[in-house]
């Protein structure tokens, strides 16, 4: 799974290590610092700031990546390229060939957000969103990773009762390039009664299921080793094959506890008792819906990162929010979703677990100190803008001791 750990690395298995919230996690594989090369490890990162608040939040994440890199002996080379509305204005297409080429050649891609009122009326091929679809297709990213973490400091922002939301820390792994959104045949027709109909095809091959299942098992293994596969195997043939193949792949991961759940039950359970989930894997359409449902539990769009990865080649890391044109250019955006996307880039794109933890620990410390952008602000907290939030995270990064002492 080269895109999950795209660089060759020496791995050492440690005992119990602290999780983001201080509770011990299962034994985790980490890079062994004693075996690090003398020269800094170096990676090329394509930055796609995009539109609206995109450039503001990417700039913050870039500074934090650089400083974390300096602490961890990692060097980053950045290549900033136009994308979305910015690219439409500059060269007339939402994803210039040069941008896609640069993204493909790099180790990882960090995207801000694309879109805005200015391009809303464009024809489909000239919409900023079309560029994003082209980028995902061009990179061949078939696994979408959407964590939903209820930060203890922000638990009151959740739409659920505190006792239900507290401690939620799950990830939805959605198959991104197959299933009913792409299945053929699809289209419109007219039946013998002269009525119009529309139809789509839910279809999955063994290959498609096996590769997303392996991504999910690998990720579950790095978390609580609990994987729940969500399907509709009581009705849909595509889901029956899904369940059969996931069970088959499970034999390669005897350390991961696998369960299955029907999607209608999963939708209920996510609201009733979300803490029961650690890692969820599901198909494209169910994942689309469940990952949005899971994200709303956290209550704050400005805190939610995401990743899209393939088996080989660079992954795409981006906040789940859009370009927020209503607050663009006003230094009001919450940069933490992008900062946490940079942490995902380090963990899932480059295999740099310690550096990822450094970022997450700095975000926690910054929230603990009471700094809040307006989207997550509550009384008694210190209201800050996008830049100041970035500066406070940087201060926390600088004041950290090594996150995990690895010998």
Q: Which residues carry out catalysis?
A: 181, 232, 264, 288, 292
Contact 254, 221 (CB under 8 A): no
Cα–Cα dist 71/61, whole Å? 15
CB-CB neighbours of 104 under 10 Å:
15
Mask: binding to ligand NAD, 160-179, rule CB under 6 A, as x and -?
A: --------------------
Q: Which long-range contacts (CB under 8 A, 24 or more apart) does 18-26 make?
A: 18/404, 19/169, 20/149, 20/169, 20/357, 20/360, 20/361, 20/364, 21/152, 21/167, 21/169, 21/364, 25/223, 25/224, 26/223, 26/224, 26/225
Q: Per residue, what are the HEC states of 304-354? A: CEEEEECCCCCEEEEECCCCCCCCCCCCCCCCHHHHHHHHHHHHHHCCCHH
Does 91 bind ligand NAD (CB under 6 A)? Our answer is: no
Residue list 200-219, contact with ligand NAD (CB under 6 A)? none
Mask: binding to ligand NAD, 258-297, rule CB under 6 A, as x and -?
A: ----------------------------------------
Cα–Cα dist 250/219, whole Å? 13
Comparing CB distances to ligand NAD, the nearer of 239 and 334 is 334
Q: Which one of 146, 222, 223, 321 is in contact with ligand NAD (CB under 6 A)? A: 321
Mask: binding to ligand NAD, 295-314, rule CB under 6 A, as x and -?
A: ------xx------------
With contacts defined by CB under 6 A, name the span among 87-95, 134-142, 330-338, 397-405 that binds ligand NAD.
330-338
Number of residues that bind ligand NAD (CB under 6 A): 21
With contacts defined by CB under 6 A, name the span among 114-122, 169-177, 220-228, 286-294 that binds ligand NAD.
114-122
With contacts defined by CB under 6 A, name the span among 5-13, 239-247, 286-294, 325-333 that binds ligand NAD.
325-333
Residue list 39-68, contact with ligand NAD (CB under 6 A)? 53
Max distance between CA atoms of the chain, in angstroms, equals 75
Token duo for residue 39? 């020269």
Give me the residues that bind ligand NAD (CB under 6 A), please: 53, 113-116, 129, 132, 301-302, 318, 321-327, 333-334, 337, 375
């Amino acid at each position: 799974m080269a895109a999950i750990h795209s660089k060759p690395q020496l791995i050492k298995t440690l005992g119990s290590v602290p999780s983001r919230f201080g509770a011990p996690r299962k034994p985790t594989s980490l890079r062994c610092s004693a075996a690090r090369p003398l020269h800094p490890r170096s990676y090329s990162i394509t930055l796609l700031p995009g539109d609206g608040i995109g450039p503001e939040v990417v700039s913050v994440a870039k500074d934090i990546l650089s400083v974390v890199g300096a602490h961890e002996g990692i060097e980053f080379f950045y290549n900033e390229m136009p994308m979305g509305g910015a690219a439409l204005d500059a060269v007339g297409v939402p994803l210039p060939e040069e941008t896609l080429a640069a993204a493909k050649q790099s180790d990882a891609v960090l995207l801000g957000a694309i879109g805005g009122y200015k391009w809303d009326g464009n024809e489909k091929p000239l919409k900023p969103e079309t560029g994003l679809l082209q980028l995902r297709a061009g990179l061949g990213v078939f696994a979408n990773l959407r964590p939903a973490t209820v930060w203890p400091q922000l638990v009151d922002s959740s739409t659920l009762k505190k006792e239900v939301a507290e401690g939620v820390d799950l990830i939805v792994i959605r198959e991104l390039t197959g299933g009913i959104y792409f299945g053929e045949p699809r289209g419109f027709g007219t039946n013998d009664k002269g009525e119009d109909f529309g139809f789509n095809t839910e279809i999955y091959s063994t290959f498609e299921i096996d590769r997303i299942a392996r991504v999910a098992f690998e990720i579950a293994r790095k978390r609580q080793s609990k994987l729940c596969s969500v399907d509709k195997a009581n009705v849909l043939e595509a889901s029956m094959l899904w369940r059969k193949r996931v069970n088959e792949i499970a034999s390669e991961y005897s350390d991961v506890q696998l369960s299955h759940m029907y999607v209608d039950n999963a939708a209920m359970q996510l609201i009733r008792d979300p803490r029961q989930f650690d890692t969820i894997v599901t198909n494209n359409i169910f994942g689309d819906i469940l990952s949005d449902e899971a994200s709303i539990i956290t209550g704050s769009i400005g805190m939610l990162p995401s990743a899209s990865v393939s088996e080989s080649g660079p992954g795409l890391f981006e906040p789940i929010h859009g370009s927020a044109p209503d607050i663009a250019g006003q230094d009001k955006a919450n940069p933490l979703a992008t900062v946490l996307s940079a942490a995902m880039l380090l963990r899932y794109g480059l295999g740099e677990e310690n550096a990822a933890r450094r970022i997450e620990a700095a975000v926690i410390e910054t929230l603990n100190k009471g700094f809040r952008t307006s989207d997550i602000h509550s009384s008694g907290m210190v209201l800050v803008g996008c830049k100041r939030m970035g500066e406070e995270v940087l201060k926390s990064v600088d004041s950290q001791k090594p996150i995990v002492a690895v010998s």
